[in-house]
Chains A and B, each alone.
Chain A
Amino acid sequence: AQSVAQPEDQVNVAEGNPLTVKCTYSVSGNPYLFWYVQYPNRGLQFLLKYITGDNLVKGSYGFEAEFNKSQTSFHLKKPSALVSDSALYFCAVRALVTGNKLTFGGGTRVLVKP
């Protein structure tokens, strides 16, 4: 079985401040990790992924994420948040040993205040 936990239902941050959204995972074998963003009444948009190699991965819109194998975490970060970053963020995990099943966390709502 595989699972993803996003411990914060909501993160509030002031515009211009750094943003962090937390994610931990549980999976057998090597994980493939993904972050998606969702705006109201829309599908999910891909932000970035970790497959292998460098633990710090960079993605769209200035987002980055750090893979930490010992802590089984994949936290999403942005150095300077924008009001337009306000949305719902989902972490997801996949593994070859589970047939490429893609499992999502419960989501974290980010609210960036001007």
Chain B
Amino acid sequence: EAEVAQSPRYKITEKSQAVAFWCDPISGHATLYWYRQILGQGPELLVQFQDESVVDDSQLPKDRFSAERLKGVDSTLKIQPAELGDSAMYLCASSPQGGGVTEAFFGQGTRLTVV
């Protein structure tokens, strides 16, 4: 069964350092989402891609966060510099083209701890 792959699963970094997360969506899925989830809360959308184009990054803290999906396949989310408040689970999800009626499929997430 096809899955969304994320790495690393866990990351500990010191504040002010740079950190990057990687996501490989299900093959053929045009829509890719990055979410941030603080423990015990709902996922908050950071950025949504349609192929290689950003369609929504209104909640992405652009002074420190960046995201790319250069070839419209896998994606990288970067934080530089990391702050203590960035500690959270970062989830990647993907949907097929025009994915309104098809559910999004989630990866296992990357748990980030900033110390």
Q: Are A45 and B106 also in contact (CB < 8 A) when A32-B101, A94-B100 are?
A: yes
Check B87 for interface membership: any CB of A closer than 8 A.
no
- Determine if A106 and B42 form an interchain contact, defined as CB atoms under 8 angstroms apart: yes
Beyond A43-B107, A43-B108, whether A101 also contacts B41 by CB under 8 A is no
Interface residues on chain B, number (Cβ under 8 Å): 30
A86 CB–B CB distance under 8 Å = no
Is A25 on the interface with B (CB-CB < 8 A)? no
A42 and B100: CB pair below 8 A?
A: no
- In the bound complex, residues from chain A placing their C-beta under 8 Å from that of B33 are 102
Considering only CB atoms, which chain A residue lies closest to B31 in the complex?
A: A100
CA distance A81 to B31 in the complex (A): 34
Selected from B48, B93, B106, the residue in CB contact (under 8 A) with A101 is B48
Do A107 and B111 have beta carbons less than 8 Å apart? no
> A59: shortest Cβ distance to chain B, in Å?
10
Q: Which residue of chain B lies nearest to A98 when distances are taken between CB atoms in the complex?
A: B56
- Find chain A residues with CB under 8 A from B109 CB: 41-43
Determine the chain B residues whose CB is within 8 A of the CB of A102 once the complex forms: 33, 45, 48, 93, 95, 104
- What 0/1 pattern do residues 77 to 114 of A give for CB contact below 8 A with B? 00000000000101000111001111111110100000
The range of chain A's interface size is 20 to 34
Q: Contact between B103 and A95 (Cβ–Cβ < 8 Å)?
A: no
B114–chain A nearest beta-carbon distance, Å: 17
Which chain A residues lie closer than 8 Å to B45 at the CB level? 101-103
B40 at the interface (CB under 8 A from A): yes
Known A99-B48, A101-B45, A106-B41; contact A44-B106, beta-carbon cutoff 8 A: yes
Q: Which of B42, B44, B55, B100 contacts A32 (CB 8 A)?
A: B100
Per CB-CB distance, the 5 closest pairs between chain A and chain B, nearest first, are A43-B106, A104-B42, A44-B106, A106-B42, A46-B103
Would you list 9 pairs from A and B whose C-beta atoms are within 8 A, ordered by A residue? A4-B42, A41-B109, A43-B91, A43-B93, A44-B43, A94-B100, A100-B100, A102-B48, A107-B40
**A34-B103, A100-B98 known, 13 other contacts, Cβ within 8 Å:** A6-B42, A36-B106, A42-B109, A43-B93, A43-B109, A46-B103, A49-B103, A51-B101, A100-B100, A101-B45, A104-B43, A104-B44, A106-B41
